[in-house]
Amino acid sequence: MTRKRLCLLLITALTIVVGALLWMLRTPASPFDNEANAGTAVPPDLIQRGEYVARLSDCVACHTTPENAPFSGGLAMATPVGKIYTTNITPDRESGIGRYSLADFDRAVRQGVAQDGHRLYPAMPFPSYQKLSDEDIRALYAFMMHGVQPASRQNQPSEIPWPLNMRWPLALWRAAFASGEPWQMVANRDALWNRGAYLVEGPGHCGSCHTPRGLAFNEKALDARSPDYLAGALLDGWYAPSLRGDASTGISRWSEEEVVTFLKTGRNAHGVVFGSMTDAFNNSTQFMRDDDLRAIAHYLKSLPPGSNDSGNGWHYAARSEQGARHPGEQTFIARCSSCHGADGRGQAPWIPPLAGATSMQVDAASAINIVLNGSARVVANGVPDAYRIPPYRKQLSDREAADVLNYIRSSWGNSGAQTEAKAVAEMRQHTDPASSNPIILQMR
| Three-class secondary structure of residue 219 per DSSP | strand
* Pick from 202, 53, 205: nearest CA to 130: 202
Indicate if the pLDDT at residue 141 is higher than 90.
Answer: yes
Task: Please state the rounded mean pLDDT for residues 314-343.
Answer: 85
Residue of 6 and 73 predicted with greater confidence: 73
Task: Please state the rounded mean pLDDT for residues 13-39.
Answer: 65
Residue of 302 and 252 predicted with greater confidence: 302
In a domain, 336, yes or no: yes
* Pick from 81, 28, 56: nearest CA to 280: 56
Taking all residues of the chain, what is their mean pLDDT, rounded to a whole number?
A: 89
In a domain, 25, yes or no: no
In a domain, 225, yes or no: no
The rounded distance, in Å, linking the Cα atoms of 260 and 257 is 5
* Exposure class string for 74-97: b at 16+ Cβ within 10 A, else e: bbeeebeeeebbbbbbbbbeebbb
For position 147, what pLDDT does the model report?
A: 96
Indicate if the pLDDT at residue 20 is higher than 60.
Answer: no
The rounded distance, in Å, linking the Cα atoms of 129 and 300 is 19
Tell me what percent of the residues of the chain surpass a pLDDT of 90.
Answer: 69
Encode pLDDT of 264-280 as tens digits.
999 999 999 999 999 99
* Pick from 209, 224, 211: nearest CA to 298: 224
For position 442, what pLDDT does the model report?
A: 60
User: By residue range, what is the domain housing residue 426?
Assistant: 329-430
In a domain, 9, yes or no: no
> Which of 77-81, 325-329, 375-379 is the least confident region?
77-81
In a domain, 399, yes or no: yes
Total structural domains within the chain: 2
For position 15, what pLDDT does the model report?
A: 56
Q: Classify residue 343 by burial, with Cβ atoms within 10 Å: 0-12, 13-18, 19+.
A: middle
Indicate if the pLDDT at residue 1 is higher than 80.
Answer: no
- Backbone φ and ψ for 215, nearest 5 degrees, come out as -65, -30
Task: Please state the rounded mean pLDDT for residues 106-126.
Answer: 95
In a domain, 178, yes or no: yes
On whether the pTM is more than 0.95, the answer is no
CATH of the domain at 368: 1.10.760.10
For position 23, what pLDDT does the model report?
A: 44
The residues, ordered by sequence, that sit 6+ positions from 157 with a Cβ below 8 Å of its Cβ are 85
Would you tell me the crossing angle of helices 421-430 and 365-373 to the nearest 10 degrees?
A: 60
Task: Please state the rounded mean pLDDT for residues 110-121.
Answer: 95
In a domain, 101, yes or no: yes
Tell me what percent of the residues of the chain surpass a pLDDT of 70.
Answer: 90
User: Other CB atoms closer than 10 Å to residue 332's CB: what's the count?
Assistant: 20
Encode pLDDT of 151-168 as tens digits.
999 999 999 998 888 898
* pLDDT classification of 12: cutoffs 50, 70, 90: low
In a domain, 23, yes or no: no
For position 22, what pLDDT does the model report?
A: 46
